[in-house]
Structure 1
Amino acid sequence: MLREEPLKVKEYSFAVAKIRDYAQLMKPNLSFMVVFSSVVGYLMVPGVELIWKNVLLLFLGGMLVTNGANIINQILERYSDRLMKRTMLRPLPDERMGTTEAWILCILSAAAGVGLLAYCFNLASALLSLLSLLLYGFAYTPMKKIHPIATFVGAIPGALPPLIGWVAATGSLGIGGWSLFLIQFFWQFPHFWAIAWVGYEDYLKAGIRMLPSREGKTSFTGLQCIFYSLTLIPLAMLPHQLGLSGSAGMWVAIACGLLYTFASFIFYLRNDRTSAKRLMYASFIYLPTVLLALLIDKL
Structure 2
Amino acid sequence: MKTAVRMAKDNTLAVIFADFKEITKVRLAVSVVFSSVAGYFLGAYEVTISAIFLLAFGGYCMVGASNAFNQVIERDLDALMKRTRNRPIPAGRVSVSMAMTIAVALSLLGIVTLYLLNPKTAMFGAISIFLYTSVYTPLKTKTPLAVFVGALPGAIPFMLGWVAATNEFGIEPGTLFMIQFFWQFPHFWALGWMLHDDYKKGGFKMLPTGKKDAGTALQIIMYTVWMMVISVIPVFGITGRLSLSIPAAILIFLMGGVMLFFAFRLYIKRDTATARKLMLASVSYITLMQIIYVIDKFI
Q: What is the DSSP-based 3-state SS (H/G/I as helix, E as strand, rest coil) of the residue aligned with 1:129?
A: helix
Counterparts of 1:149 and 1:41, CA distance in 2? 27
Letter in 1 for 2:102: L
Counterparts of 1:5 and 1:42, CA distance in 2? 47
Counterparts of 1:247 and 1:177, CA distance in 2? 20
1:201 CA displacement: 0.7
Could you tell me which residue of structure 2 aligns to residue 33 of structure 1? Answer: 31
Q: How does 1:78-89 map to 2 (within 5 A)?
A: 78-89=75-86
Could you tell me which residue of structure 2 aligns to residue 249 of structure 1? Answer: 248
Could you tell me which residue of structure 1 aligns to residue 291 of structure 2? Answer: 292
1:35 CA displacement: 1.5
Counterparts of 2:48 and 2:245, CA distance in 1? 21
Could you tell me which residue of structure 2 aligns to residue 112 of structure 1? Answer: 109
Higher mean displacement: 168-177 or 49-58: 49-58
1:131 CA displacement: 0.3
Matched, 1:166 2:162: yes
1:8 CA displacement: 2.8
Q: How does 1:134-213 map to 2 (within 5 A)?
A: 134-213=130-209
Letter in 2 for 1:229: T
Counterparts of 1:185 and 1:248, CA distance in 2? 24
Could you tell me which residue of structure 2 aligns to residue 274 of structure 1? Answer: 273
Could you tell me which residue of structure 2 aligns to residue 227 of structure 1? Answer: 222
Higher mean displacement: 36-45 or 23-32: 36-45
Q: RMSD over aligned Cα, in angstroms?
A: 1.3
Letter in 2 for 1:27: K
Letter in 1 for 2:225: L
Could you tell me which residue of structure 2 aligns to residue 129 of structure 1? Answer: 125
Letter in 1 for 2:263: S
Letter in 2 for 1:183: I
Instruction: Spell out, residue by residue over 1:59-102, the C-alpha distance to the aligned partner (whole angstroms, 9 max, x if none).
Output: 11111111101101111111111111111111001011101101
1:237 CA displacement: 2.2
Contact 1:190 1:228 survives alignment (8 Å): yes
Q: Which runs of 5+ in 2 are unaligned?
A: none
Could you tell me which residue of structure 2 aligns to residue 14 of structure 1? Answer: 12
Letter in 2 for 1:34: V
Contact 1:249 1:290 survives alignment (8 Å): no
Contact 1:27 1:67 survives alignment (8 Å): yes
Counterparts of 2:162 and 2:295, CA distance in 1? 16
Letter in 2 for 1:194: A
Could you tell me which residue of structure 2 aligns to residue 76 of structure 1? Answer: 73
1:40 CA displacement: 1.3
Could you tell me which residue of structure 1 aligns to residue 61 of structure 2? Answer: 64
Counterparts of 1:274 and 1:5, CA distance in 2? 48
Report the TM-score when normalising by structure 1.
Answer: 0.95
Counterparts of 1:261 and 1:111, CA distance in 2? 40
Counterparts of 1:157 and 1:140, CA distance in 2? 9
Counterparts of 2:249 and 2:156, CA distance in 1? 21
Letter in 1 for 2:72: I
Counterparts of 2:222 and 2:282, CA distance in 1? 15
Contact 1:248 1:297 survives alignment (8 Å): no
Counterparts of 2:21 and 2:61, CA distance in 1? 12
Letter in 1 for 2:164: A
Counterparts of 1:60 and 1:138, CA distance in 2? 23
Report the TM-score when normalising by structure 2.
Answer: 0.95
1:238 to 233, 236, 240: 233
Counterparts of 2:38 and 2:59, CA distance in 1? 12
Q: What is the DSSP-based 3-state SS (H/G/I as helix, E as strand, rest coil) of the residue aligned with 2:155?
A: helix
Could you tell me which residue of structure 1 aligns to residue 259 of structure 2? Answer: 260
Instruction: Spell out, residue by residue over 1:125-167, the C-alpha distance to the aligned partner (whole angstroms, 9 max, x if none).
Output: 1011000011011111111000000000000000011221111
Structure 1 stretches of at least 4 aligned residues deviating more than 3 Å after TM superposition: none
Instruction: Spell out, residue by residue over 1:231-260, the C-alpha distance to the aligned partner (whole angstroms, 9 max, x if none).
Output: 122212222323523223222221122221
